[in-house]
């Protein structure tokens, strides 16, 4: 309840979208669509979800300079997505940095965090590109891509800013020490944190490694696009690639909107909105959205649960550790 101002807006957005879906969708039609779906295509898509997670682990491990083992990164990735599905405030991102820092002796929490920031920024850039690529074919309006350009531009600016900081980390550290001279505790904590943070950003200055990162990231999104197309085709045999492209772009933005844990409501609302640009059948579109929801939960549910169990952890236990960690960080500040 102390954080009600943080979680309440997202919860209200989720509730509003769920209510809208309940109002417009005919559940009998949705059930019929689920019964009559092409489960062969869905099975292939679901198997691709594990391939997607494995490639995503390679993406993250590349940013981590291949220091931790693939196994540690793979299971920690699954644990992080599992935490995001059930815990508020995107704690899965902090959680996987926290969990991986305990597994790999050579990496600190502050070194791992910037790699997650870079990963998420590039995710948003790619999602903006996908959204913009599909939008002209969906909405015949010259001004419609404006929002996508703004979002993509802001994310690209953030990436460039991180690159500049990585190239000029000593100047940034010196500037921080000068500005925080009157606050010794802040200077002590912030200085050590920023040194590790900039060390993590150093991957941006390694041109070959960054190109490898982009290759694996693009492949990762391509796998997701194929899976989304197969799931769309399972419900709409007449579906074209454009349906999946626009659906994936909207789903990515739906996941970024403030919401309840796991983007409940916002994800389904985004997918239904995207598919109903091509069909008037909201109920079947909702069935496809529910299937895509299971796709998103499947890999993290299986791999994340195996990872937590093998480490003797539980969701509630990790949540309590994260809260203790956050309170400790605040006290040190």
Report residue 81 as tokens.
Answer: 């997505």
Tens-place pLDDT, residues 294-331 = 998 999 899 999 988 888 877 777 877 777 776 665 55
* Distance separating alpha carbons of residues 272 and 278, to the nearest angstrom: 10
Q: Is a pLDDT exceeding 70 seen at residue 111?
A: yes
Question: What is the DSSP track for 142-202?
Answer: TTTTHHHHHHHHHHHHHHHHHHHHHHTHHHHHHHHHHHTTT-HHHHHHHHHHHHHHHHHHG
Task: Give me the pLDDT at residue 173, please.
Answer: 75
Task: Give me the pLDDT at residue 48, please.
Answer: 96
Task: Give me the pLDDT at residue 87, please.
Answer: 73
β-bridge mates for residue 264, sequence order? 260
Domain hosting 262: range is: 4-332
Please, where are the H alpha helices in the chain?
Answer: 4-24, 27-35, 39-63, 70-86, 91-103, 109-138, 146-167, 169-179, 184-201, 207-235, 241-256, 266-275, 282-299, 305-310, 315-332
Tens-place pLDDT, residues 171-222 = 877 787 777 777 776 666 666 666 666 766 677 777 788 889 989 999 999 9
Q: Is a pLDDT exceeding 80 seen at residue 27?
A: yes
**Dihedral-angle region of residue 220 (phi above 0 means left; psi in -120 to 50 means alpha; beta otherwise):** alpha
244-258: b or e for each residue (b if 16 or more CB lie within 10 Å)? bbbbbbbbbbbbbbb
Measured over the CA atoms of residue 280, residue 282, residue 284 and residue 287, the dihedral's sign is positive
Task: Give me the pLDDT at residue 143, please.
Answer: 47
Query: What is the total residue count of the chain?
Result: 333
Tens-place pLDDT, residues 153-183 = 766 777 777 778 777 877 877 787 777 777 7
Number of domains forming the structure of the chain: 1
Looking at the chain, the whole-number percentage of residues with pLDDT higher than 90 is 34
Q: 333: buried, middle or exposed (CB in 10 Å: 19+, 13-18, 0-12)?
A: exposed
pLDDT band at 52 (very low <50, low <70, confident <90, very high): very high
* Distance separating alpha carbons of residues 202 and 67, to the nearest angstrom: 14
- For all residues of the chain together, what is the average pLDDT? 82
Residues 249-278: what's their mean pLDDT? 80
pLDDT band at 38 (very low <50, low <70, confident <90, very high): very high
More confident residue, 198 or 116: 116
Most confident of 17-26, 81-90, 93-102, 319-328: 93-102
Q: Is a pLDDT exceeding 70 seen at residue 258?
A: no
Q: Are 305 and 311 in contact (CB under 8 A)?
A: no
Report residue 79 as tokens.
Answer: 């644990």
DSSP structure class, residue 260: B
């Amino acid at each position: 309840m102390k954080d009600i101002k943080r979680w309440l807006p997202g919860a209200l957005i989720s509730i509003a979208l769920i209510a809208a879906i309940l109002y417009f969708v005919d559940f009998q039609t949705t059930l019929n669509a689920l019964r009559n779906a092409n489960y062969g295509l869905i099975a292939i898509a679901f198997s691709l979800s594990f391939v997607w997670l494995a490639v995503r682990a390679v993406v993250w491990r590349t940013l981590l300079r291949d220091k931790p083992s693939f196994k540690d990164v793979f299971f920690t990735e699954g644990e992080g997505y599992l935490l995001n599905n059930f815990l508020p405030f995107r704690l899965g991102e902090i959680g996987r940095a926290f969990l991986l820092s305990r597994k790999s002796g050579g990496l600190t929490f502050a070194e791992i965090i910037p790699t997650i920031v870079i990963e998420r920024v590039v995710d948003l850039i790619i999602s903006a590109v996908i959204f913009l690529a599909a939008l002209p074919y969906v909405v015949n309006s010259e001004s419609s891509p404006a929002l996508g350009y703004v979002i993509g531009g802001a994310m690209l600016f953030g990436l460039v800013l991180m690159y500049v900081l990585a190239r000029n980390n000593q100047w940034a550290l010196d500037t921080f020490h000068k500005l925080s001279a009157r606050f010794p505790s802040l200077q002590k904590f912030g200085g050590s944190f920023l040194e590790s943070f900039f060390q993590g950003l150093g991957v941006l200055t390694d041109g070959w490694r960054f190109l490898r990162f982009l290759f694996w990231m693009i492949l990762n999104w391509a796998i997701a696009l194929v899976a989304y197309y197969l799931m769309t085709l399972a419900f709409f045999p007449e579906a074209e690639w454009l349906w999946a492209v626009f659906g994936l772009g909207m789903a990515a933005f739906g996941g970024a909107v403030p919401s309840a844990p796991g983007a409940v409501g916002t994800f389904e609302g985004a997918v239904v909105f995207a598919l109903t640009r091509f069909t008037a059948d909201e109920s079947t579109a909702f069935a496809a959205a529910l299937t895509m929801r299971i796709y998103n939960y499947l890999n993290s549910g299986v791999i994340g649960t195996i990872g937590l169990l093998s480490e003797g952890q539980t969701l509630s236990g990790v949540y309590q550790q994260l809260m203790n960690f956050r309170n400790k960080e605040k006290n040190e500040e």
